Chains A and B, each alone.
Chain A
């Protein structure tokens, strides 16, 4: 177990290694696999499916708003659509897509063979998928949640929503929180304990840093919203009255709990986007990142400060002025770390040799739109201005700038950039450029005019408006933009699907990039690295360009799923550890969880039944087997 510089170190039993790490084939493999790569790709594919569904809802809403007094959607249906659209994009698309990218990339980037709790991550995928399907089954059966993705009480309480809609909403939140918490915990420990020897803290790739900070934020933010959604479900099911003002509860409590999660949520989506941008900037400017340490500290600072700004969603509630000033100031300050990152990326590009490939275009789109969204965000941190802009279309424009510019554009770049690693084939450059052009034009055409509409008095969440309001023309323009945006998504999806068959072979490192995921084959073998790499600096593939001269670790067993445990700070090897293999019980545990959570919208007995049904498979899956770690 020593680091060597031996030429072409072949693992002793390459065949044994492949057999040990292989997932079962066929249907059984689909339900039992614990390979982080297949689970990560499933997360991403499912998230893209939900992006399409949420996008279809948005397109229908935009069509309704195309002209005043339109009758395409009834108010009830429109309200369910915007609720499900927001819930989908936040809980079922953005966070799972980013965390899924983390599940896929983190072990490859830090040079390990699988995540520390592979079965927990397999379980969390099923919980996520079933939770998402549950939400849409509600919409399809006429029980779509009608109270908005923020579900303000008392509107979401039984008195004002006697349907099952808000129950389904609350349980969907619980589903996704269980799922994301499991993934976050796994990623944190994997990043802390399984990095390749030599990958000390200051050599961790920036995407991994962003996922680490994001995962910590998930742990704190998602527990808050899971508490809130549990309180709401309990209010509705067993009359607990947490938010019922007529019985000692408080509707404003809901807003605090929800936004204490809700604002960090924005950064949970945005920070992985910045991690992606760091990699795209490095690779396509052919330059090590300027200000690596500053970016790492900026990422951490964003994560911390984002927990102290939530009241800027509540400026109009009527809270004391002094309190508002505090949250106003912290909302101004949170822009500083983002500014640091922006300046460092520009400095890197300044000294670099930019290569005009499609992923870099998405970085430019990111700059164009995100900087605008950040600046309107600074305006919204101002109490007086926010009193005007709050809950108007100005905010709709702002948040879509931040989320589409800050997360979707980097994600689209990431899909093109890491696609060859996952499939072994490159996507079409031409299609990538077309997709970028359509998404860029569509985004700006749809969301920029919204700022103007907001300033001219158009409130959010309205299913129609009067012709005399004068908002018709800009709304018409926005609807055209939305269709262009949708076309861009279609081109992207077609590009991803068709390239799997017709793309040109990529080779191990098609972009000549610097991080470890490019050291293994494309697609990587089960187990990722037959020999664990050793890292000497921040850009291992740029300092060790010749694959035959790369340092590796030897001495791990091939007949078990062994990974190397290293110290948290300096990544010094300390022990070997055997990871568990495929199992069907994670799937059954997810089914048990689902039965429990669904039953809970009808009867409190769901808690008992669900616990039993989930606990049994959990015990079987965790039952110790002979021969554990060493």
Chain B
């Protein structure tokens, strides 16, 4: 197994983890973290492509590196926007959740305990 294949497989695993987290977790913060994990996988794919272009005798294919830095900036801005929205929602409601009903799972045992 050569290096590009290894890194490609790593990228696939990262994208898979990220996608799983993004779909399964209801909490927005975890969703944003999963998005970043998935993003790392996608960026790794790009880096592998740059490295593979270098096999033609160049030091490295510069175009994917330029794309990569742009994509990282965009993903960073997206995460910042998401966190800002979450903080504002927390200020307004005291919780940060994407489900419409106010957390049925933790609320019920608490209600039983009080009763």
Partners in one complex: no
**Interface residues of A, Cβ cutoff 8 Å to B:** none
